[in-house]
Each structure stands twice: as structure tokens, then as C-alpha cells.
Amino acid sequence: MSRSGDDPLPDKLTSRPGADPKTPSEGRRFEPSHAPAGNGAIAAAEPIFDVEDVSVFYGEHRAVRDISMRIHRNEITALIGPSGCGKSTFIRCLNRMNDLIPTARVEGRVVYHEEDLYDDRIDPVQVRKRIGMVFQKPNPFPKSIYDNIAFGPRVIGMKGDMDEIVESALRRAALWDETKDRLKTNAFGMSGGQQQRLCIARALATEPDVLLMDEPCSALDPISTGRIEDLMMELKENYSIVIVTHNMQQAARVSDMTAFFTVELDDAAKHRTGHVVEYDVTDKIFTNPEDKRTEDYVTGKFG
Amino acid sequence: MTGAQIAARARTRTSVLPRPSTGSRIADLAFRLVMYLSIAVGFIGLGAILFDVARDGLPRLSMDFLTNFPSRIIPERSGIQSALVGTLYLMLICAVLVVPLGVATAVYLEEYADRRKWFNRLIEVNIQNLAAVPSVVYGILGLAFIVRGPLSMGRVLLAGGITLSLLVLPVVIIVAREAIRAVPPSIREGSLALGATQWQTIWKQVLPGSIAGIATGVILALSRAIGETAPLLIIGAAVSPRFNPSGLFDSFTALPIQIFSWTTDADREFVSAAAGAILVLMVLLVLMNSIAIFLRNRYEQKW
Amino acid sequence: MTSLAYTRTRRSVGEQAVRYGLFAAAAVSILTTVLIVLSLLRETIAFFGDVPVGDFLFGTKWTPLLAGDQQSFGVIPLLTGTLYLTAIGLVVAIPLGLLAAIYLSEYAPRRVRKVVKPVLELLAGVPTIVFGYFALVFFTPEVLRGVFGVEVNQFNALSAGVILGLLVLPTIASVAEDALSAVPASLREGAFGLGASKLQVSLRVVFPAALSGVVAALILGASRAVGETVIILVAGGQVARLGLDPTVGYQSMAAFIAATSRGDIPTGSIKYETIFVVGMALFVMTLALNSLSIRLVNRYRQVYE
């Protein structure tokens, strides 16, 4: 698969920030081009995921290709780009959810806590206990609020007082006050925004250290969206968050790092393959991106 | 034509829309008549059956009729106790055999089977075919393998129960599959993303969510099973026994068999007894169908 | 942090066991078919060891229960009996069933549908023995002889056939109605927009569009009629004969099987084998009809879904 020759590409780098970004090469790893002013976090940023040359295939069709990036702990990392670029496909690689699709195949490595998630020895069920996910459309179970939250801890065999676990999760999701008097009512009776916060609480109940969010606000009204964004900013102190979003303003508001995806057509224009054009500190992506395609997207010229 | 001429013509016409020709009006009317008639035939047929059976059978209904055993010589004192008991036992045996097998098969096909594998497609096609095999053939199967042949149980209750179970098993599988399929994929995804295993997801989310549909389907399948005559004739159900089956390996009879025996008896005095037994059978079926509908309306999960 | 690697816990062993257990349950359905085919095949082969295939397929006398010279194994009378009774039934069920289907799909207002559909389903749920009783006890004496004054035997093809049609009517009606309803509204709207009448739209647009599904319904109905036992056993009599006289009785393949197996026939005797060879013929016929019908149903479903 050929690329046009005039892309300015950062080098495949070690974890030293500030390395020369101008040398083009294949299989580039993204690192921020400079430390942002006043925020020492990048220099000290620890990785939670080291993604190495990940490609996802559905049968013969390559949906995303050659993704290499380092996602940092206790940050919000946003994945943006037009529809169909493989953002959702990619985020589902981080918790082995692509396993659910029979024809899907993942190449490359996703290193988490020194283990490659795609190693043969790794149990996807264990992976999902540590890496939680919230989906685009809220999907509460047809059970009570209490049982929704308690489901995860129960099935993974968490020890402890269930009442406390449920309360703690609901508090972390800023939902406790609204629900403490109706824990036994059916979750389907909640509004859309509340249901999504319930799904966040449910994901937090199993005490993961990562929360993956696949367009969590796209089915919600602006007020609920705002509440969830506030929630995310609170959560990032204790969790690492990766969020796919169509909403550029949202990415600019909440995220620390942003990856911009785009899609290429193959020569016969039959297959669309997504890949990452640029991955950098959010400020830079939105004010002074390296790649013209990124600039066109964030300034609204297309997408 | 001039504008004035057109306007004049428009004023003199009584209607702008073309009227349907009388020919097509007659055809339409005739067709409607024929359609109403055909619906009427269905109603009349059902009505005639019910009327005839009620006329002959209602006078026979009494406590004695339910508690007496059939008599070969005295029609007035014949009762259906052995037949009713046999039918209820058969229903029980069927339920015990068909529910685990049918639900397990449906779960396998919907949740585990990879449709690309040939043997899974074979299982599916096979079930569709089995659902349409005439009941006599199941009777032959029972005769050759269960009553005689390898199992050689003889003409016993269990043989009848197994044969009827095999007969309705495809129906239960098909109905259970539909109920399971109605559970949205988002529920499964939500459960798996929390770290639940596939079986945990099925046992704690999918099956509870589909139980109403499965129960309804099982009841309808059982009501079909207890209405069957041919397989039991071939298995060798007893004719007018004056005892209830003492266990799984005793001779037995059932309501359809008793009805058949009385209907075809040379002594026409038994006809009213047959009609009475038909009424009891119909009441049983109406009861079962009502329970099925009640369960469906009350407990069906609305997603 | 503990490793994410697979560990051989009780739970993971349980998961594997569940998977195999479920597959075993699913395999029971395959086992059923295998056993059906085996049981039929074994005795059929034994039968043709004693009776030449030609005699069976082309013989016109079916008297397996008689002795000596009188015993004959020509299956043709059973075959023609089956087809004749099925034909009478279809003559009743096809027009009425299709008209009912068109009515329910194209014409019936919602309130009427709410009443008619349950009645059809009720009819479909009536056990066949009840139909058999009705044919023998009511239809023959009071309708055929009484109302219409036709001179029929107690067992006659007309009664058995018509009631057979009544049995099959709901099947044809509901499968055909499914097929007609599956035709997208846009097709109808287009035709109405061109000024067609309801009759024209129903018969010339919707019906042809649903043709494969409708044909599937007819074949399914025929298959049910062919396999039906009790109505014919009760009302059609026990004599296998050739001919087309509707006032006398005929025996169908299924009725023969049921009638014969009631006796105490020793395993392995030629009479025992007749049950299976006729069963085999019936099985093959219905299998062919059903496969055809299923394929047609899948075809029309694919087109619209």
C-alpha cells in the first residue's frame, strides 16, 4: 500500500520527547513533537498502551493499517476523524472486543502492563476485566439499577460488600444522589443520559484501570453530554480514558492527546483502509497540526 | 382550443377524476364476495365442528366421565380417567425431555456455532426438515428403535413420551432460537465487555431475557404433542385400559387414542363418549394456549 | 498486577464442557434423522429381498394382509389413494386458502384481522382426530347424505378429502399471507399511483411478486395432506383400491401404516416390512416436497430482507 511522498512524518522514536520529527520512514511511532508549556505531564507520561503496527482485517479486507502509538496513563486520549476511518475498529482492539466478530483478525502488538494483549496465552476475559468499555448507545441490562452495577463484580468474582461496591461505583459516576432511593427500580426507566452514566458506573464497578469510550455522547442531548464530559475530567485522575468522538469540540475540550484518523481507498477503490495521520498533544493538533489533512479536518474544510 | 373553451369544458364536466368502469366495479365486488365467502367457510367449518362436538359431547360431561375407566361393553359408564392421566403423563415426559434438549440446541446454534462450518449448516437444515416430517414417520421410528429393536422397551409410556418428544423437538428448537435471537447484541456486548465469559453472558443475560418466548413456545409445542394420534397408534398405545399407568414402563393410553377407539367402534353408542373426550381435550388445549398467551403478554421482554 | 494469561480454572474447564455439551444436544437432531433413515432403509432392503422392486412399484393390487395367492404388494393403489385424497383436499384448500390470504393481506381492516387471524390459528390447532371424528360422524351422514343427498358409503373419499382440505386450509392461508405481506409497500403504492384498482394491484402486482412464497405455501399444504393419517384412517376406510369414485373409501399410505402397525405383527415378517417400505415412500415424497418448499421460502425471504 503506497503513500504519497510528501507527508511529513515523525521518526520512529524512543520515548524521548523532542526528537526530530522531520525524517520520514515507515512504521512511524508517534510521540509529541514538544512538551506543552506548563504541563510537565507529557515528559513524565507513563504509557498504558504501547500499540505496535496494529492492523485489523475483516476477512481479506484490511480495515485499519499500521497503527503505532503510545497511549498515556491517567490521560484522556481522543480518536477523531471522519466516519468509517476505523476509529471504533481500533478502539475495540484495546480490549479484544474484535474477537467477537468471526472474520476479524488482528496483526501487531498491543502491549499493556508488559504483556501483549494478542499473545496466544492471553485470556480475553481477563483483559476485559481490566479494560472497561462504554458503548455508543447506552445498553443497560433489563434489570434493576443495583443489579446492573453488581453484575460485573459478581461475574468476575470480586470480593467485598456488594452494597458498598455498588454505592462506590455510582458515586464515582456522579449518579449516587439521583439513584440512591431507587436502586431496585428497573434501569430501563432512566433517561438516556442517566442510562449512559449508569453504563459508566457499571464499567467502573469492576475496578478497571482503563475506560474505553466509543462515541459515548453521540446519542445524548447537549446537557447530558456536558455532564459526561465533566465526569470524564474527574475520572482521569484515577483512570486512563480513550475516547472515540465525532465531535471535534469535545475532543478539544477534554482530551490531552488526540489521534487523527483518515481513510484511504486502495488502487481499485474497492477497499477503504483507515490509518492514523497524526497523533500529538491536543493543543498542537487543533492549533498547529503538522499534516495538511489534519488541518483541513479540524478547521472544518471536510469531514 | 382556446382558454375560454377549456374553461367552459371544465365547468360542464361533472367530475375531473375518471370513474371506474362498471365492468371493473362488478369484478371488484364479485371478488370481494368470493373472499368473504372463503373466510366464512373457515368460520363455518370451525363452528360446525364445535357445534357438533358440543351437541354430542356436552351431555356426557360429568365427574363420572372424568373418573371412570373406559368400558368395552357399557358405553354409558365409560370414562376417560386412564386416557386423561396418560395424556398428562406424556405431557410431563415431553416437557422434561424437550426443554433441556431444545434450549441447549438453540443456544448452541445461536451463540456458539460458526455458520461457516458445514456441520453447523447441516444441523440447521436438518432441523427444518425434521419439523416437516409427517408424524407417522416418527411413529415408525419409535416402533423400530424404542418399542422393538435396540431399546426394546415394549409398548410403554416412556416409549410414547420419547417418540412425542422427538416429534416436537424441532418446533421447540425453532421457537427457542427466535426468542434468543430477539435479545439484542448490545446486551451481549455489554456483558462481555465487563469481563463475563460467554456462558456467564448466556446464563445470566440471554436466557433470562428470552425465557418468556421460550416458555410460550414450549407450551405450544406440548399442546401439539398431546393432540397427536398417529405416532401413539403405531407405538401401540393400549385400547381402553381400565387402569392408569403405574410407571414409565407400563402400558398406557392417551386422549386422542381413546377418542379414536370410540369413534371407530362398531357400537355407535360410543360416539357420544368420543365427543365428550374431544371436549375435554379441547378444554385442555385452550387452557394451555391461554397460559402461553398470558405468559407472553405478562413477561415478554420489550427491548 | 496478575497476568492476563489463560489459567486452567474450574470456570474455564466448565466453559469448555458447556460447549461440548451443547454441541452434543444439537447432535441429537442429527441422530434423529439418522435413525429415521436407518430404520426405514433396513426394512425396505429386507422387503425387496422378498418382493421384486418392479412388483412393488408397478403392481396395482395392494393386499399384503391376505394370504397365499391373494397376497399382492403393488403400491400403486396406495399411491393413487394418497394423491386422490390430497387432490380433493387441495381443491378445497387452495382457492379458499389463497383468497383468505389475499383478504388478510390486502383488504382486511385491522379490526377484522384481529378476529380472523386467531380463528385461523385456532383451526390450525385442532387435533386431527377431531377432524376425523367430524368427517365420520357429522360430515358424511348429515352434510353429504343429509344436506346434499349424495349416496356415499360410510367411508368415502369426498368426506375424507374435504375435511382434509379443511385441515390444510389454515396452513396454506397463513404461509401465503406471510408471503403476500412481505411484498414491500412501495410496490403497491407505485401501482396505486398509476391508477390501478385494488383488485388489479392485489392480483397483478402483489400476487406475482409473492409468487415463490405462495407456491411454497401450496407445496407445504400438499405435503401436510400427503402425510396426514388419522382423518383418512377414520373416514376413508381401510381398503386400498384404484379408481376415482368419490363415494367410496380409499386408503392412503399413512393410513395403511397406522392401521397395520396396530396389529401384533412379528418383527421381521413381511407384513412388518411393509410398514417400513410404505413409510420410506412417504418419507421420500414429503422430504422432496418440503425441501422444495423451504427453498422457495428462503428465496422470497432473501429478496425482501
Chain C residue with minimum CA distance to A128: C4
CB contact under 8 A, B34 and C294: no
Lowest mean pLDDT among A10-24, A59-73, A278-292, B153-167: A10-24
Q: How far apart are CA C238 and CA C291, in angstroms?
A: 30
The pLDDT, as a whole number, for residue A143 is: 94
Secondary structure element (H or E) that encloses residue C154, with its range: none
CB nearest A113 (choices: C1, C6, C7): C1
Residue found under cell 382556446? B2
Q: CB–CB of A63/A274 below 8 Å?
A: yes
Q: CB–CB of B140/B236 below 8 Å?
A: no
CB contact under 8 A, A123 and C1: no
Torsion over CA of B157, B162, B163 and B169, rounded to 10 degrees? Answer: 140
CB nearest A128 (choices: B184, B186, B192): B192
Q: How far apart are the CA of A150 and the nearest CA of chain C, in angstroms?
A: 19
C199: nearest Cα among B38, B18, B20, B37: B20
A294: nearest Cα among A246, A249, A262: A262
What would the pLDDT profile of A103-149 be if each residue is shown by its tens digit?
999 999 999 999 999 999 999 999 999 999 999 999 999 999 999 99
CB contact under 8 A, A97 and B200: no
CB contact under 8 A, A126 and C5: yes
Calculate Rg over the CA atoms of chain B. Answer: 28
Chain B residue with minimum CA distance to C201: B28
B193: nearest Cα among A162, A131, A77: A131
Residue numbers in C near B232 (CB within 8 A): none
Name chain B's partners: 3 or more CB pairs within 8 A.
Answer: A, C
Residues in contact with B28: Cβ distance below 8 Å, sequence separation at least 6, in sequence order: B20, C197, C198, C199
CB contact under 8 A, B193 and A133: yes
Q: CB–CB of A208/A130 below 8 Å?
A: yes
What would the pLDDT profile of C113-128 be if each residue is shown by its tens digit?
888 888 888 888 899 9
The pLDDT, as a whole number, for residue B303 is: 85
What would the pLDDT profile of C146-176 be if each residue is shown by its tens digit?
888 888 888 999 999 999 999 999 999 999 9
What would the pLDDT profile of B176-226 be if each residue is shown by its tens digit?
999 999 999 999 999 999 999 999 999 999 999 999 999 999 999 999 999
The pLDDT, as a whole number, for residue B20 is: 65
Residues in contact with C271: Cβ distance below 8 Å, sequence separation at least 6, in sequence order: C64, C65, C260, C263, C265
Torsion sign across C-alpha atoms C4, C5, C11, C12: positive
What is the average per-residue pLDDT within A164-178? 94
Which ipTM did the prediction report? 0.92
**C166 reaches B (C-beta below 8 A):** yes
Which cell numbers hold the place of B207? 436466557
The pLDDT, as a whole number, for residue B75 is: 86
Residues in contact with C26: Cβ distance below 8 Å, sequence separation at least 6, in sequence order: B104, B105, B108, B109, B113, B123
Whether B231 has a pLDDT exceeding 50, the answer reads yes
Q: How far apart are CA C290 and CA C222, in angstroms?
A: 9
The pLDDT, as a whole number, for residue A33 is: 43
Size of interface A-B (CB pairs under 8 A): 65
Tell me the CB-side half-sphere exposure of residue B182, using CA atoms within 13 A.
17
Whether B16 has a pLDDT exceeding 60, the answer reads no
Beta bridge pairs of residue A260: A80, A278
CB contact under 8 A, B35 and C133: no
Q: How far apart are the CA of C52 and the nearest CA of chain B, in angstroms?
A: 23
Which cell numbers hold the place of C55? 412388483
The pLDDT, as a whole number, for residue C87 is: 96
Residue numbers in A near B299 (CB within 8 A): none
Mutation for B interface: A97, A100, A200, most B CBs within 10 A: A100
Whether B291 has a pLDDT exceeding 90, the answer reads yes
**B170 reaches C (C-beta below 8 A):** yes
B152: nearest Cα among B142, B163, B164: B142
Q: How far apart are CA C175 and CA C33, in angstroms?
A: 25
What is the average per-residue pLDDT within A178-203? 95
The pLDDT, as a whole number, for residue C85 is: 96
* Burial of C261 from C-beta contacts in 10 A (0-12 / 13-18 / 19+): buried
Torsion sign across C-alpha atoms B205, B206, B210, B214: negative
Give the mean pLDDT of chain B: 91
Query: pLDDT: is C5 or A236 the higher one?
Result: A236
The pLDDT, as a whole number, for residue B116 is: 87
What is the average per-residue pLDDT within C239-261? 92
Lowest mean pLDDT among A21-25, A111-115, B61-65, C104-108: A21-25
Q: How far is CA A255 from CA A74, A237, A301, in A?
A: 11, 13, 22
The amino acid present at B292, given as its one-letter code, is A
Q: How far apart are CA B153 and CA B156, in angstroms?
A: 7
What is the average per-residue pLDDT within A190-198? 94
Lowest mean pLDDT among A259-263, B163-167, C90-94, C110-114: C110-114
The pLDDT, as a whole number, for residue C170 is: 93
Q: How far apart are CA A131 and CA A126, in angstroms?
A: 9
The pLDDT, as a whole number, for residue A13 is: 32
What is the average per-residue pLDDT within A184-194? 94
Q: CB–CB of A94/A131 below 8 Å?
A: yes
CB contact under 8 A, C6 and A127: no
Residue found under cell 397483478? C204
Torsion sign across C-alpha atoms B226, B232, B238, B239: positive
Q: What is the DSSP string of B221-277?
A: HHHHHHT--HHHHHHTPPSS-SS---STTS----HHHHHHHHHT-SSGGGHHHHHHH
Residue numbers in A near C9 (CB within 8 A): none
The pLDDT, as a whole number, for residue A254 is: 95
What would the pLDDT profile of C264-281 be if each residue is shown by its tens digit?
888 888 999 999 999 999
Name chain C's partners: 3 or more CB pairs within 8 A.
Answer: A, B
What would the pLDDT profile of B18-75 be if each residue is shown by its tens digit?
666 777 788 888 898 998 888 888 889 889 999 999 999 999 999 999 999 998 888 8
Q: How far apart are CA B189 and CA A138, in angstroms?
A: 11
The pLDDT, as a whole number, for residue A34 is: 40
Q: How far apart are CA B215 and CA B288, in angstroms?
A: 11
Q: What percent of chain C has pLDDT over 70?
A: 98
3-state secondary structure of A212: strand
End-to-end CA distance of chain B: 64
The pLDDT, as a whole number, for residue A25 is: 38
Mutation for B interface: C10, C31, C32, C294, most B CBs within 10 A: C32
CB contact under 8 A, C5 and A115: yes
Q: CB–CB of B167/B225 below 8 Å?
A: yes
CB nearest B136 (choices: C136, C200, C227): C227
Whether A267 has a pLDDT exceeding 80, the answer reads no
Q: How far apart are the CA of C8 and the nearest CA of chain A, in angstroms?
A: 11
Q: How far apart are CA A169 and CA A166, in angstroms?
A: 5
The pLDDT, as a whole number, for residue B300 is: 87
Give the mean pLDDT of chain A: 85
CB contact under 8 A, A123 and C7: yes
* Burial of C269 from C-beta contacts in 10 A (0-12 / 13-18 / 19+): exposed
Other beta carbons less than 10 A from residue B36's beta carbon:
14
Predicted TM-score (pTM) of this structure: 0.88
Q: What is the DSSP string of B193-214?
A: HTT--HHHHIIIIIHHHHHHHH
The pLDDT, as a whole number, for residue A14 is: 33
CB contact under 8 A, C100 and B31: no
Q: Can you give B9-52 as a three-state secondary structure string?
A: HHHHCCCCCCCCCHHHHHHHHHHHHHHHHHHHHHHHHHHHHHHH
CB contact under 8 A, B260 and C36: no
The pLDDT, as a whole number, for residue A11 is: 35
Q: How far apart are CA B264 and CA C120, in angstroms?
A: 28
The pLDDT, as a whole number, for residue C156 is: 92
Q: What is the DSSP letter of C5?
A: B
Q: How far apart are CA B129 and CA C220, in angstroms?
A: 12
CB contact under 8 A, A100 and B194: no
Q: What is the DSSP letter of A67?
A: E
Question: Going by DSSP bridges, is the β-strand pair A61-72/A47-58 parallel, antiparallel, or unpaired?
Answer: antiparallel
